Each structure stands twice: as C-alpha cells, then as structure tokens.
Amino acid sequence: MTMDLFTLAFYLFALITLVSAAVVVFSKNIIYSAFALLFTFFGVAGLYVLMMADFVAIAQLMIYVGGILVLLLFGVMLTTNVISVDIRTGTIQTLPAVLVVSALAGILVGVFWTTDWKVSPSATGFEKTAPRIGELLLSNYLLPFEVASVVLLVALVGAALVARREKKVS
Amino acid sequence: MNHSLPVEFGMTVAQFSQWLQTPGLHHFLLISGVLFSLGVFAILTRRNAIMVLMGIELVLNAANINFLAFSRYTTGTLDGHVFAIFVIILAAAEAAIALAIVLNVYQNFNSVNVDEINQLKD
C-alpha cells in the first residue's frame, strides 16, 4: 500500500487548505483569521500546482498573498483597536447559518459526487501554461483582458478617492 | 447504472482505498465544495465586515479550484486558467474597493460590525 508523491502532496495541501480555512471561519480573533488565510492561500496555490496550473499558482501567490492579504491586514489594523480587548469579533445568526450552509454543502457535494463528469483520459495535463495563456489573452480573450485593465485602473482611482475622503467638520 | 461514479454504494474497503489513493477530478471538487461552504458560513455569521471579506475570498478560491480542475481533467484546454486569472484580477479590485469602503464606514460609525451599520448616513 504505497502512496505516490502526487497523492501525498495532494492530501498535504488539502489538509493545509481545509484546516486553515476552518481556522479562518471559526477563530474568534480576527488577527488569527487573517494569518490563517495566508495558509489557506498557500494550500490552494499548492493544489493549483498539482493541477498543472503553474502560472495561476504563481499569480495566486503574488496577488493573493502579496496583495490582497496585506490589504486585509491593513484593514484589520486600521479598523480594530488592537490594544484593547475588543479584538474579538462575534457571530450572528449562527443557527440559521448552520442550517443553510449544511444544506448548501450537502447539495454541492452531492452534485459533485453523483454527476457523470466527462473526464477525458486523453487530458494528460499541460507542459508550459504561461505562453499559451499569453496567446489566449491576446487572441480569444483580448476584449476581457482590456476591460480588466480598465477595471483595475478605475478600482485603483476609486479606492484612493473613497479612502482618502476627508470627514467633514461639522 | 452509472459506471463512471467515483464511489458506488456498497463498494469494498479495497475499492474505497484505491479511490482515495488516486486523486482526480472528484477529489478537487470535494475540496472546493467544502471551501465554498466555509466561505459562505463566514459571510453569513461574522459581524466584522473584514471577516465577511475573508469569506468572499474563500468563496472565490473555491470557484478557482473548480475552474482549474475542469480545465485539467475534462476539457484539456487552458480557458479555465484564463477565467481563473480574471477571477483573481477582479478579487484584487474588489478587495481594494471594499477596504476603502470599510475604512470610510469606520470613520463615520466608529465600528465595522455589519449588524450595527443600518443607515447610509448618520
């Protein structure tokens, strides 16, 4: 009963992802949640690598870990009084949420489990994804690519404008 | 009888162990489903607006896992990767805007608890 390296890596990354995601969701301390989110992103990036998505995995590490997580941490630090004891954040509507989420999880897992997915045995993965993704972005997906760049620009300007708006002195 | 089901009911332990040892499309999909549910739970229950944002990031990551899994195991094309990249781009834009809004809300209300903010202006 030997497990090959792929299987071992898969279960390692799956464990990292799910355990740290559970810490994110159930931890009472928002700082712990933010740092657990770091490990979730790392675990998901590992899963991307196992699916032979090297470019997306690197993008995940650079944008999520390097950008979004730092942004979230700044948000936590700027809006939570770290020194006081008020760092714990409560939960609301726990019982209805448990019901809704367990129903959702049951449906999702049931659908994933029972659907006859057309798994293609000839799809053996990809060699180098970055050049082909670049070609796709400049051919089939040129318009969404350009729109995304405009969206990023507008988001950048908008975020700076909204965040720096001075409070009116009344 | 659907023969391509990953696990039939009444399968033997050996078959189940064999299934566990060969990670494929279903394994990735199950992880994505659990991650999605955890994210929705965070969105529904946490009071802090930034925790809600973290839940949204979990949901987006679950969706990305699905895109890449189907790209790898069923279509064999890279369209799923391009979609995943667009999702990451939009997540970055969304996080920046949402954090700016949260900071503004904090300035106005001195709180980022979503159940206390029930007015658009004070």
Please check whether residue B122 lies inside any domain of the structure.
no
pLDDT in tens, B53-64: 999 999 999 999
H-state helical runs in B22-114: 25-45, 49-70, 79-109
Instruction: State percent of chain B over pLDDT 70.
Output: 90
Segments forming the whole domain that contains residue B104: 13-109
Please check whether residue B3 lies inside any domain of the structure.
no
CA A24 to CA A154: how far, in whole Å?
30
Nearest to A119 among B54, B73, B102 (CB): B73
Contacts of A161-167 with C-beta under 8 Å, sequence gap 24+, read A162/B97, A162/B100, A162/B101, A162/B104, A163/B99, A163/B100, A163/B103, A163/B104, A165/B104, A167/B107, A167/B108
CA A55 to CA B14: how far, in whole Å?
37
Question: What residues of B are in contact with residue A148 (Cβ under 8 Å)?
Answer: 86, 89-90
**Residue A62 DSSP symbol:** I
Cβ–Cβ contact A84 with B under 8 A: no
Please check whether residue B4 lies inside any domain of the structure.
no
Length reported for chain A? 170
> In chain A, which among 101-140 make CB contacts under 8 A with chain B?
101-102, 104-105, 108-109, 112-114, 116-120, 122-123, 125-126, 129, 132-133, 136-137, 140
* Range A112-137 average pLDDT: 84
Comparing B66 with A167, the larger pLDDT belongs to B66
* Whether B73 contacts B24, CB under 8 Å: yes
Residue B31's pLDDT band (boundaries 50, 70, 90)?
A: very high
Looking at the predicted structure, is the pLDDT value of residue A120 above 90?
A: no
Please check whether residue B27 lies inside any domain of the structure.
yes
Q: Which helix (H) or strand (E) holds A84?
A: none
Instruction: State percent of chain A over pLDDT 70.
Output: 89
How many A/B residue pairs have CB atoms within 8 Å? 252
Question: What residues of A are in contact with residue B30 (Cβ under 8 Å)?
Answer: 109, 112-113
Please check whether residue B119 lies inside any domain of the structure.
no
Does this model's pTM top 0.90? My answer is no
Task: Name the region of A118 (left: φ>0; alpha: ψ -120 to 50; beta: rest).
Answer: beta
* Whether B82 contacts A136, CB under 8 Å: yes
The CA distance from B4 to the nearest CA of chain A, in Å, is: 6
The predicted pLDDT at position B1 comes to 36
The CA distance from B12 to the nearest CA of chain A, in Å, is: 16
CATH number at residue B65: 1.10.287.3510
Cβ–Cβ contact A19 with B under 8 A: no
pLDDT in tens, A26-67: 988 888 999 999 999 999 999 999 998 999 999 999 999 988
Q: Rounded to the nearest 5°, which phi and psi values hold at B117?
A: -95, 95
> How many independent structural domains does chain B possess?
1
Please check whether residue B6 lies inside any domain of the structure.
no
Mark yes or no for CB contact B30/A112 under 8 Å: yes
The CA distance from A83 to the nearest CA of chain B, in Å, is: 16
Please check whether residue B8 lies inside any domain of the structure.
no
Please check whether residue B117 lies inside any domain of the structure.
no
